[in-house]
Structure 1
C-alpha cells in the first residue's frame, strides 16, 4: 500500500486545509444549528467563492470546497458577517462540540451548548489536541455514544446529569450551572495526565481515571435513519456531500441542525421527498456506504471513490455496510468495517472486518471485480 501524509489536524474556517480542488473551509455552526438565513448564506458564499460542493463531516460541521486563495478573504468576511466565525483560530480549534440534534426548546441542551462554547473561548481554556471534542448528548436518551468525543454530558438512567470521560462506564454528577466548568476542569485534567495521548479513551485505557465518576451511564445503541418526527425531518446525503442548490432549498423549509451521521435535521419540515440531492428513504443503500472525496479532489487519493460507491450500491445486501477510501488513512470511516475498499494505483484493495490501514485480503481489483466480492 502506498504511503500518505497524515495531517494530524482538521481544517477550520480560520485554518483551512489545501486539497486537490482548492481550500477546504470548515464551518462549525454554533450550537450545532444553522438559522435559515445562515444556511442560505453559506450556500450563496460557497457558490461565489467555492466550487459549488459542500461536505458534511462526522463532527457535525459543514465544509465549503474548492475555495481559491484569492477568494478566501471574501469568504471569511461573509461568514463573519453571519456570526459563524470564532474570534481566533485557537478558540475555533477548541470548539469541537457535538450537540444532540433532537433537543427541544424546553430542555437544557441549548443552554449547555452556549455555556460550554463560552467556557472554551475563555482565556484560561486549555489548548487541546485538534481532534479532541465534546458531546452534549442531553436529549431524552443518548444518541451520540458512537460518535467521536472525549468529554460527554449525558443523563443517567435515573435522570442525573453526568459528565463522562470517554472510555468510562460511569460519570460524575454535575448540574446545569456547573457542567461547563466541570467539563473544562476535566479537559485540564486530561492535558495534565495525557503523557502523549491525544484522545481521552486512550488515556482511560492506560489505567488513569478522573475522580468522582460514580454514576453508571446509560448504554444506548442508536441507528440514525431518515424520517419525520415532532422535531422535523432527518435527511441523508450520499457520502455526506451536497450541492449549494440543495442547501439553499433545505433552508427554505426550516433551520438546519447538523449531526455526526452526515445527515441534516430540518426543523419543522414534514415533506422533503421532492428535494433533489437528499435521501429520505431509510432503505437507500447509499446511506450504508462511507466514502471520502477520493481522486482527483484529494491529492493523496490514488483513485476515485464515490462513483465506485454508486456502482456498488445496488450490489450490497440489505444489512451490509461498506467503506471506500482513497488511501490507507481511512478519513471517512477510521474504524473497522465489514468491508473496506482502498484505492490503489490502477485498482483497489479489499479488506474484510478491518480498516483502511490493515493488510488487504485482495489487491489489484477492478470495479467489476469488486462487484463479485461485496
Structure 2
C-alpha cells in the first residue's frame, strides 16, 4: 500500500503467531528495507513502513523465505483471519483455522477487505476486531456462525461450519453485497434468513492486560530495536499480535517494566490515532505523536492527529481531528481529516492544553 513515507507492506501471521526466529528476522527486515518501525494493525497484523518500490520485490522474497506469505495467491489475497490469541495446538480455534485456510480459494470472490474471526477462545475477545464472518460461541458454549452486524448467529457444528460459511458468503454475493463491500453495511439494506439469527453470542470479556505476557504498542507503532531487545530479554518462543494494539508473548520469562511498551489497558495511546508525522513522513509538516500523547490525556476520544490531510492513521471520522498544514494544525470536529475545519492555522503550542475544541 502507498503511504506518505513509502510503501507499507502487511504481514499476516499464520494462525496469528510468529515464532521468535520470525520476529527477529522481521525486525531485521524492518531496519534494512523500511523505517525501522513495525505497525500493529487493527486486524492484528504487522506492517513494515517506509519500503521503496525498488526494495519491495526483495522484501517479498525474504518474507516468503520466512514462510510469512502463502504460496497460493488465492489464499493470501483473502487471508484476513482474526484468531483468539489464547489458542492451543489441537483446540477448537486451531482446528477451525486448519479447516478455513484451504477453503478460502473456493469461497465466492469476496471483496478484499472482508475477513473472518475465530472468537472461540476461553473468553470472547474479538468483537471489536474487523471481521465479516464470525465463528463464536453462544451463551451455552455451542459453536455459531454470525454475520457481522447481526445480533445473533446460526448454530453450527464443527463438521458443518465451513459449509455454513460457504452458504453465507454465497448469500452475500447473490443479494448484492459486493456493492456494499462489507457485511455490516450490507445488512443495513438486506435481511439475513431468520434461521441464521437464532443463537446469541456470549458476552464480550472486559479488556485487561492480565500479566506481563501481554503488552501494548502506543499508537500501534513498535520500534524494531525495542522489540528485538524484548524478545531476547524474555526468551519468548513466539509472539501473537492482538487487536487493540496489544501483543502476547509465549514462553520465556516475564518482561521487565519498560516505558517503551504499554502495560496499562487504560492508556489512551492504545485508542488514539496518530501517524508518524514529521520528520519521518515527507508529506507531514508537523510532529504528531508527542502532541497526541499530551492531548489524549485530557480530551475524550476518539482523537486523531494527522501529519497531513491524507489521514493515513485513521481515514474516517473522529470526535477531534487535528490535521497538519504548513507547520500548523487545522481542527475538525466530528469529521475526517479532509473535511472543512472549524479552526485553522493553530500552532502546536496553542494546542498543548486544548480542553474544549
What is the Cα deviation at residue 255 of structure 1?
Answer: 0.8
What is the Cα deviation at residue 301 of structure 1?
Answer: 5.0
Pair 1:284–1:196, CA change in 2 (3 A) = closer
The SS at the match of 2:38 is strand
Question: Where does residue 81 of structure 2 map in the other structure?
Answer: 97
Can you list the C-alpha shifts for 1:15-37, whole angstroms capped at 9, x where unaligned?
xx233333211111111111112
Find the partner of 1:176 among 143, 146, 158: 158
What is the Cα deviation at residue 222 of structure 1?
Answer: 4.8
Find the partner of 1:344 among 321, 325, 346: 325
Alignment of 1:273-312 (within 5 A): 273-275=256-258, 277-295=260-278, 297=280, 303-312=286-295
Alignment of 1:124-135 (within 5 A): 124-135=106-117
What is the Cα deviation at residue 144 of structure 1?
Answer: 1.3
Scaled by the length of structure 2, the TM-score of the pair is 0.87
The SS at the match of 1:196 is helix
Alpha carbons 1:334, 1:355 under 8 Å: kept: yes
Find the partner of 1:155 among 112, 134, 137: 137
Question: Where does residue 144 of structure 1 map in the other structure?
Answer: 126
Aligned residues: 351
Question: Where does residue 351 of structure 2 map in the other structure?
Answer: 370
CA distance in 1, matches of 2:73, 2:288: 32
CA distance in 1, matches of 2:303, 2:53: 35
Question: Where does residue 255 of structure 2 map in the other structure?
Answer: 272
Structure 2: any 5+ residue segments left out of the alignment?
Answer: none
CA distance in 2, matches of 1:360, 1:189: 41
CA distance in 1, matches of 2:316, 2:85: 23
Question: Where does residue 11 of structure 1 map in the other structure?
Answer: none
Alpha carbons 1:54, 1:241 under 8 Å: kept: yes
Pair 1:352–1:110, CA change in 2 (3 A) = same
Deviating more after overlay: 145-154 vs 79-88: 79-88
CA distance in 2, matches of 1:219, 1:366: 47
The SS at the match of 2:256 is coil
The SS at the match of 2:276 is coil
Structure 1: any 5+ residue segments left out of the alignment?
Answer: 1-16
The SS at the match of 1:158 is coil
What is the Cα deviation at residue 293 of structure 1?
Answer: 3.3
Question: Where does residue 247 of structure 1 map in the other structure?
Answer: 227
RMSD (Å), alpha carbons: 2.7
Deviating more after overlay: 131-140 vs 364-373: 364-373
The SS at the match of 1:216 is coil
1:218 is the counterpart of 2:201: yes
Alpha carbons 1:21, 1:296 under 8 Å: kept: no
Scaled by the length of structure 1, the TM-score of the pair is 0.83
Alpha carbons 1:136, 1:154 under 8 Å: kept: yes
CA distance in 1, matches of 2:282, 2:112: 22
Find the partner of 1:258 among 235, 238, 241: 241
Question: Where does residue 6 of structure 1 map in the other structure?
Answer: none
